[in-house]
Amino acid sequence: METRSCQNCKKDFVIAPEDFDFYKKISVTPPTWCPECRQLRRYAWRNERTLYRRNCDLCGKSTVTIYSPNKPHKVYCNECWWGDGWDASSYGRDFDFNRPFFEQFHELQLEVPRMALLNKRSVNSEYTNHSGDNKNVYLSISSFFNENVYYSNWVFYSRDCMDCYYVREKGERMYGCMDVIKSYQCQYNFLMRDCVNVHYSHDMHGCTDCFLSYNLRNKKYCFKNEEHPRKEYMKKVSEYDLGSFAVREKLYREFVEMIANQAIHKYVTGEFNINALGNMFTHVKNSSFIFDAERVENSKYMYSVLGIRDSFDCYHVGLECEQIYEAQGCTRVSNCQFCHLCYDNMNVMYGDTCQNSQNLFGCISVKKGEYMILNKKYSKDEYEKLRTKIIDHMKKTREFGEFMPPSIAPVCYNETQGQRYLPMTKEEVLRRGWQWEDKILGTYGKETMEPEDIPDNIKDIKDDITKEVLKCINCSKNYNIVPYEFTFYKNENMPIPRLCFDCRYMRWFNLRPPRKLWHGKCRCNLENHDHNGLCPNEFETAFAPERKEKVYCESCYNKEIY
C-alpha cells in the first residue's frame, strides 16, 4: 500500500499494489487525485439533464442540446453531426511542444463541431439524452428501448412509465418507482422485482396487491405488512382517495418514514456477486467500490456501469468494455483512457465525442478515423512516434495520467451531475477555476395558475390544464403538464404534481444511499438469529454510522426476510 496526498482536496488516499499493476498494464502514471475527487472531476463533465434550444451551426435548425446558446462551441444537430457535410480532420493541427497539452486541446474544442446531444434511432423523443431506440419518450436520461416513458432516468425495455429511476427491464404502467425489475402497474416503490399493483412499498419481490409494506416475498393482499382476504384488503385501500394530492402527500411521507424506521436493510443491495465491494450492483466479480452496476469484473471505482471488465475509474461506461480508465459516457470501447462521450472506439486516449474510431490521441468529434492526433491524420509510424513524444511532454507538464480538467469542460459545473452529488455555490466553483452558467434555461413568475388553485383531485381537473403554466412549490420554477402526461394521471388516478421535473427527480435521488462506503456493524439483536444480544458481524456499507435504519448483515437479513 502507498499513501498519497490528493492534489485537489489534500486528504490522504491509498493506492493498492494491484492498482499499480493496472496502471502499468495500460501505461499510465498513477493518479494524483483521490478516488472521490477523480469521480467529481468526471461528474463535472456530464450534463445530462440541463437542456436548451439553440440553432444548429450548420443548417440553422432549432435543436435540443446540452449546450446553452451562449457557449462558444460550435454545435450541430444530430442529423448534421452524423452527416457527410463536414470532416473533423479539416480542423487538424500540429502539436506545439512549447505549450501545455490541455491548452491546445481546449482550443481545438472551440473549433470542432459538437453533437447537440446523444440520442440515436428514436422516434418522437427529441428531449432525451444519452438514450436511444425509444418511441414517444420525453425528458428522460440514459433510457433505451422504451415507449411512452416520461421524466425518467436509467430505464430499459419499459413502457407507460413516469418519474421512474433505475428500471433495469420491463416496467409497465409505473409511477414514482426506483430500482425495479419486471413490474406492472405499481406506484411509489423502492427496490421492487416481479411485482404487480404494489403501492408505497419497499424491498418487495414477487408480490401482488400490496400497500404500505416492506421486506415481503411472494405475498398477496398485504396492507402494512399484514395479509388479508382480498375483499378486506380492497376495502382498506379504498379508504384512501388516491386521486387527491393531499392524500398522496401524506402517503409519501408515511412511505419515507416506513423505509427509515421500520424496514430492514441489508448492508448492501446486490445479488450474484463474488468478492465484490460496493452497493446497488449485480453480477460483479473481483471488484471494489462499485456502485449502480451490472456485469463487472476485475475493476475498481465504477459508477453507473454495465458490462465492463479490467477497468478503473469509470462513470456511465459499458456494453462490453475493457481496459478503460478515467472515462465518462462511453459505450463499446476497448483500451481507452481519459475519454468523454466516446462510442465504438479502440485505443483512444484523451478523446472527446469520438465515434467508430481507433488509435486517436487528443481528438474531438472524429468519426471513423484512425492514427490521428489533435484531429490531424498521420501514418501509423508517425502517429506512434509523435504520441510517445507528446506523452513524455505531458509528463513534464504534469498533465499526463489525469482526466480532462473541469476548467475546459464544454459545460458548466452547475449544469452537471457534479452539482447533484456535491452542490457548490458559484463562488466556490469559480474559486476552483471551474465554470458556472448564469443563464440556465427556465422561467420564473410566468405562472397562469397558482399551486393552491389547482384542484386537489384529478377528477376535478379539466383538459385545459395542459394550457396552463404552473409553479413548482419547492423551487418556484415554471413547468407545464403535457397531454400524454395528463392522460396518464387520469388513467392511473393520480393527482397533478406540484413539483417540477427536476425537484421530483431530486426527491427520489435523495432516497438512495450515497455512493460511498463506511465500516459498519450489524444492528440485529433478535434472539432467534444464532447470536446472543447484538450480532457481531461487521461489513462495509453505504449506510453511514449515524443513520438510524435497521441495517443487517446478510445472514440476519435472510433469516428475517425469507
pLDDT tens sequence across 430-449: 999 999 999 888 899 999 99
pLDDT at position 194 is 96
Residue 197 CB neighbours (<10 A):
17
317-345 pLDDT, tens digit each: 988 899 999 999 999 999 999 999 999 99
483-523 pLDDT, tens digit each: 999 999 999 999 999 999 999 999 998 899 999 999 999 99
Mean pLDDT score, 460-468: 94
DSSP 405: P
**Is pLDDT at 255 greater than 90 in this prediction?**
yes
Where in the chain are the domains? 274-402, 451-509, 518-561
Cβ neighbours for 56, distance < 8 A, ≥ 6 positions apart: 62, 63, 75, 76, 77, 80, 116
168-195 pLDDT, tens digit each: 888 999 999 999 999 999 999 999 999 9
Mean pLDDT score, 20-27: 93
Handedness of CA 161, 166, 170, 171 (dihedral sign): negative
Best CA proximity match to 233, nearest among 266, 207, 215, 259: 207
Rounded distance between C-alpha atoms, residue 549 and residue 54, angstroms: 46
**Is pLDDT at 532 greater than 90 in this prediction?**
no
The pLDDT-based confidence of 533 (bands split at 50, 70, 90) is confident
Residue 84 CB neighbours (<10 A):
7
Backbone phi, psi, residue 459, to 5°: -70, -15
CB 481 within 8 A of CB 496: yes
**Is pLDDT at 119 greater than 90 in this prediction?**
no
**Is pLDDT at 529 greater than 90 in this prediction?**
no
Mean pLDDT score, 121-134: 90
pLDDT at position 530 is 81
pLDDT at position 528 is 78
Beta strands in 411-481 (DSSP E): 470-471, 478-479
Element (H, E) at 255: helix 245-261
To the nearest whole number, what is the mean pLDDT of the chain?
94
Mean pLDDT score, 147-153: 95
pLDDT at position 233 is 96
pLDDT at position 33 is 94
Mean pLDDT score, 1-5: 88
- The grid cell for 498 is 406540484
207-248 pLDDT, tens digit each: 999 999 999 999 999 999 999 999 999 999 999 999 999 999
The pLDDT-based confidence of 118 (bands split at 50, 70, 90) is confident
Name the more confident of 205 and 121.
205
Residue 476 C-alpha from the chain's centroid: 25
**What letters, b where the CB count within 10 A reaches 16 and e where it falls short, cover 151-162?**
bbbbbbbbbbbb
Half-sphere exposure for 518 (CA within 13 Å, toward CB) = 12
56-79 pLDDT, tens digit each: 999 999 999 999 999 999 999 999
